[in-house]
Structure 1
Amino acid sequence: MFDFYRVSAAVPDVRVGDTEYNVEKIIEKIEKSERYEAHVIAFPELCITGYTCQDLFFDDTLIARSDAAIDKLVKYSENIKQVIVVGAPSKIEGHLYNAAYVIFAGRLCGISVKTFLPNYNEFYEKRWFDSAADITVPADKTIFYKGYKIPFGNDIIYDLNGFKFAIEICEDLWAPINPGTYYALGGAEFIINISASNEVIAKREYRRSLVLDASARGICNYLYVSAGSSESTQDLIFSGHSMLAENGSMLNENTDFIANDYLMMADIDLGRIRSDRIKNKTFTDAVTLNKAFTGQMRTVDVTGGRKIKLPDSDGKYYIINKHPFIPSSKVKRLKRCNEIFDMQVGGLVKRLRVTGCKPIVGVSGGMDSTLALLVAAKALKVLDKPATDLIAITMPAFGTTGRTYNNSLTLIKALGAEPIIIDIKDACIQHLKDLGHSMDVKDITYENTQARERTQILMDYANMANGLVVGTGDLSELALGWCTYNGDQMSMYGVNGSIPKTLVKWMIDSVVENSIFPECSEVLKDIIDTPISPELLPPDENGNISQKTEDSVGPYELHDFFLYYLMRFGYSPSKIYLLAGRAFDNDYSKEEILKWMKMFYRRFFSQQYKRSCMPDCVKVGSVALSPRGDLRMPSDAASSIWLNEIEKL
């Protein structure tokens, strides 16, 4: 369902050389994984016999009992709906190979053979095994198993009803160009590495980096499962390290440093992989340039043409971050925010240096204008310009509250600038009077008059003071079109245009935490606690903010969630709704999520014209809406098919 698949990494307890014991332990893990309706379960390298058999691999009895164990697994799997990938020695045409057997529903589907055999330091695999690169017979690289042909080699991609995967074995990953690279270019979306990697100091981190890198370069999911501590400890210790990576990010990893006898399970989302591969034309070019290799790949239908209904995975075990733009840990969040702040500052520094202008910021006391003001102040420091070059204008009107007004003045002064106060109420009253618009009608004209008056003042002041108007609007406002066209939508250079609303708060918090402007810490904390509002409608009877943005357009955490999955992966409304329902299960009802999702899609399409002429703004993350970069979208595109899909949810 929705491209989700459930996968398991199993590290069974083994007795070296005891194939009967080992296969029973393997079956125990399969049964447990079957209860969770996994689609694939992978076991470590040579786990049927134990990796550390050494010269026992030359013994016919061991090989015969290993083959018998495989036969038992094939027979056992007749009523099992998951693919079983298990490591065992394979004796074919007088050669012994280190292999992975792929078994599904009572059928041996293929035998993937290890290519790179380590023969250095503590490893002596070439003493016992031949490489897949040396396979010459049979010429078609197939064998007969129970009356039907089985492919074997290092050129096999397995297809489970459209779910394509391939297998590497341990050292294959360590090679300069690993087989998994060619598997990925050949169409495999999921790479399994069955391994027996011993543990030494610092190897775990290096192994992790290899897995992450392989998943990133291959734009794939990569499952790594290694032999556990029940292998022989004569000279080595095996740690049972298991990992699941997704396009450069770690989805799951066992926690114990030395582990054995466990099952690790997770869901993978192939929708992410498929989306990125479509967008990434470098990957497409690599596919074309490597046709000499990928064109020789063999695709094996693991169902054997049988109609076998697979369990549906709804992504229950897929980790979903309800705030995808915000790192979950404080340490990572502070680091990320600091990097973004430096990018914002760097973009503005370049523009100020080229133009020779002073930055002008309209300061409202809200979070967006606060972040823009902080960026401008830092840019002046980088340029070695005085803080007095910062032109900070606050323009109170009908909705301005004492809290935001005072915070504006306090912040500007704390940064070393001189606040410029221009009250726009009279100008707006005159303008509305000229239009014949009653002051008693608090409609969109009433609100937009204030926004456009502020922009006009900023632009005119820029002409007068050789200034550059710094835009304050953020990514979420651009997505929703929650800005006044030719009002706060326009500036001479935007610094927040790729910062989502849910991140703005943490950007300001990081300025406090990192003591970038320590003299501003107290006022910044109060600004963070201020409700989000454009302050275009009069305050309530107590002088507090009456117009709260999220009451009108919905929670920004929902809209940022919708935006992320729409823009980053092109997911359908149905899939985004499924993910949102799980992520916000304790926060919003399904009806609320649908209500605001409908609002999001309607506005996202109808407000594109505002984004089509948005000011320059540096991209800081994987999601951006610039018409010159990430979103080439017609302003008059119809939204009906998306809204119709939402109506059916």
Structure 2
Amino acid sequence: MEETRLMLAAAALNQTPMDWDGNLQHIKDAITEAATNNVQLLLLPELCITGYGCEDMFLSPWLSEVAFEKLLQVKEWCDDITVAVGLPVFLDKKVYNTACVIKNKEIVGFTAKQFLANDGVHYEPRWFTPWPANVVQEFEMMGHTYRIGDIIYNEQGVKYAFEICEDAWRPNRPAERHMPKGVQLILNPSASHFALSKTDVRHRLVVEASKRYQCAYVYANLLGNEAGRMIYDGEVLIAQNGKLIRRNELLCFKDVDLECAEVCFSANPKIEDVIEYLPPIDENKEVVAALSLALYDYMRKSRSRGFVLSLSGGADSSLCAVAVAEMVRRGIESLGTVLFVAKMQMFSMKDVAYFDTLPEERLQKELIGRLLTCAYQGTVNSSDNTYNSARGLAESIGAKFYSWTIDEEVRGYVSKIEDVLERPLTWEQDDLTLQNIQARVRAPGIWMLANINNALLMATSNRSEGSVGYTTMDGDTAGGISPIAGIDKAFIRQLLVWMQVELGYEGLQYVNKLQPSAELRPSDEEQTDEKDLMPYEVLNQIERLAFHDRYAPHEVYNILLEQQVAAPDVLQAWVTKFYTLWSRNQWKRERLAPSFHLDDYNIDSRSWLRFPILSGGFHEELAKIRP
């Protein structure tokens, strides 16, 4: 073929399930921006008309019908440009996940996804049917006939085809069939969820494919917190013949993030000998970026007016507070003051104009003060250290801070039960009861503040606590969102130190000097979390081996014993405690507030890990452990 140059583009979109007006506006904005840049072919993300996270609504025929009506609107915006847009298509009582190609206001065809994601957080086979390879057929919709299937398209003499998200992650991927057919361009519309360091894997997947198949490869991912739990980093990649041509900044606060590049196609392309890989990503930077964007989208899409937090002065609640502060800092940096504030839809235009006049440091603190309300709820068992930690952090970031004690309420409940039982409650006999009532009494007051502010109440449980149920139901689990429930405690502790040193949050200096403690027992007992449980590093190792790597209890024990983690009898006690508490507390994990998927796995039964509420408790399996 003669040399052909095409201006290619891909756009990340921040979509919301079934938000028809919002989703279409972002699609229209992307098309308009592409046209302004003289783009000839634009790729948009997977299922971007409906949103990827519609879940069981995909099974309702009307959803696909509405999506097709919206597609016909999108078609009219595609004047003198080719656009690939994602939507579900309902045929013969089956739903297909498709990418539709529109060229100059005409629908050319639909490519249907061939491999469905069915692991981890994915449940695609519940909704969609895989399309067979090399099959193309016709269907009728709204009086017109269209082609659907494994289609090869043509743009000015350049043959191109699709791999839709999961298609590219399989050994017998569609690209294996495309290359012998002369395909020189592969488009990949995706809804690839965020996980720590996953972008490194994705980058390799795209660039190595472009070298192996001697083609240009264009990739477009969704962006932001789309449906509540999953976060999308909005990655856009354009590569050719083993060389990365264009890559965007991930996890931005925009609605549309478009990248374009002119790509040359010829009969004898130069194939890169060595692929230049990206340097390893800093997971601290990455998780902070994901968490802050997720909070912003969750807040505005749920139409909430900020956040309320029971700030204990400990690590978990401190991270939640700083995450809101980072949301403000990063949001302003990404969008500018006016757009960041206006997108929240909670301030008047007068307020927006006022914020735009403020210098940066004052602006951030004033906004945080309007968005985050904190309260320290002390008891006789609370220490001055945690109070000073909570107050110092809140003041340093500008959050609204209240403080009160709950001893009177605790005494009221304790005396009621003592009267009923006709005996006093003692720490020797009623330890758990006396601890839990303190945690539960903290819930009503903080819920009142959330209701008054029309704000989201943040629960502060982390993944390590969730694994063993080291949390009080209707107490510290109270909340509408549990933002850090997908992160383990060891990671959180080092993250807070990093945020103090690298991001300048000096208010964290107090919590970074403290040992994690629930502070529910009398102070002379010097209660700490790790005394109650085990070292967090060990807990996290057991959890990962058990549920990410899927080893049996005795195998977990043997692996840790080989690593000399602890003496055999101590290690047996820790492994037994973990599995016993895990089994006993599945009902708690079922009731935790929605959380974000941040790591490469989580313990949320609604997304990554399902486990029976009632089980045998691993008794037979634990009996195989012999120190």
Question: TM-score, normalized by length of structure 1?
Answer: 0.47
Larger radius of gyration: 1
TM-score, normalising length from structure 2?
A: 0.48
